Amino acid sequence: MKLGFAAGSITIRIHPDELAKLAVGGSIGLYVALPRGHEFRVKLNQTQTEQWHFDSDPTGLWLTVPRTQLDVLGRGQSDMHCIQQTFMTHQDEVLIRLELDV
């Protein structure tokens, strides 16, 4: 898993093996050790519902993606092997992009 930040967006790039793990109900994650014993985590899960879920705090990000969307990503039916969802923030919105690293 690779993570990228830009103004108003977060991109999560996953390998096909990670997508396969998500597709069967597993979860995948990224852990980055930081100074003073801190850690930043990213965790992805799939859900059978049609709702994306996104949560965050200073220690990490948690994203749940609908199974149907993961299927689209896996079949390469999305533009540029990417699915995305916009979430409202306190001031604006943030775009979450999930990309397949092909």
Residue 80: pLDDT above 70?
Answer: no
pTM of the predicted model as reported, rounded to 2 decimal places: 0.90
The domain over range 2-100 is classified in CATH as 3.30.70: no
pLDDT at 19 (0 to 100):
94
Mean pLDDT computed over 3-26: 95
List all residues 6 or more positions away from 87 whose beta carbon is below 8 Å from its beta carbon.
52, 54, 93, 94, 96
CB atoms within 10 A of CB 46: 23
Phi, psi of 73 (to 5 degrees): -60, -45
Give the model's pLDDT for residue 79.
Answer: 54
DSSP 73: H
